A and B are shown apart, each in its own frame.
Chain A
Amino acid sequence: QKEVEQNSGPLSVPEGAIASLNCTYSDRGSQSFFWYRQYSGKSPELIMSIYSNGDKEDGRFTAQLNKASQYVSLLIRDSQPSDSATYLCAVIGFLGSSYDKVIFGPGTSLSVIP
């Protein structure tokens, strides 16, 4: 059973601080890794995608991937109240020569306190 786990929340950080979200996955063959943000009552929206080891930065967001440790993280710098949402980690591997279905983690709820 392929699994994706995330650090349990809820996570509360003060405005302006760095929020750190963590994710581990069980399938070593996983190829693509994503972070989605989901506001209450809305569908998920893509924040970051990462495919190779190391860091990937986009504005206030930095995704980090370590395939050897089967670990992916998301850092949010200068956190804003509008960042308050549930963050979903998603992982895709291959099934034969095709992409497999996406496996989502349970999500981590982030609350940024003004």
Chain B
Amino acid sequence: GAVVSQHPSWVICKSGTSVKIECRSLDFQATTMFWYRQFPKQSLMLMATSNEGSKATYEQGVEKDKFLINHASLTLSTLTVTSAHPEDSSFYICSAPRGEGYIQYFGAGTRLSVL
């Protein structure tokens, strides 16, 4: 079964609103989680590294004030897309590493459509 849960799986919102996406590790603790964005027919793009109890580390070009990340517990990280616009429409995926090999387990993804 799934080891990483991501919700919601699909969200439609109006331009200017904020959307929160949750990523949970189900039976293990994850001090680090990762957030990716994927546009159609393109590869995964790492947006940020979520660190439990500290600030997230954002990749170059990713606006930290627009994509707010909170990792308040060892099993939950949230990504909030603030003041969403149509260009933010994309497939957002989280992952959490587990085990000695640092295997990444992915959530099911969230498809965001901003009207």
Within 8 A of A (CB), among B35-75: 43-44, 46, 49
Residue pair A99, B103 in contact (C-beta under 8 Å): no
Tell me the count of chain B residues lying within 8 A, CB to CB, of chain A: 20
Q: How far is the CA of A18 from the CA of B89 in the complex (A)?
A: 37
**Complex: chain A residue closest to B93, CB-CB:** A43
Binary flags per residue of B95-115, CB closer than 8 Å to A gives 1, else 0: 101000111111111010000
The number of inter-chain residue pairs (CB within 8 angstroms) is 45
Contact of B103 among A34, A101, A104, A105 (CB under 8 A): A34
User: In the complex, which residues of chain A have a beta carbon less than 8 angstroms from the beta carbon of B43?
Assistant: 88, 104-107
| Top 5 A-B pairs, shortest CB-CB distance | A43-B109, A43-B106, A99-B102, A106-B43, A43-B93
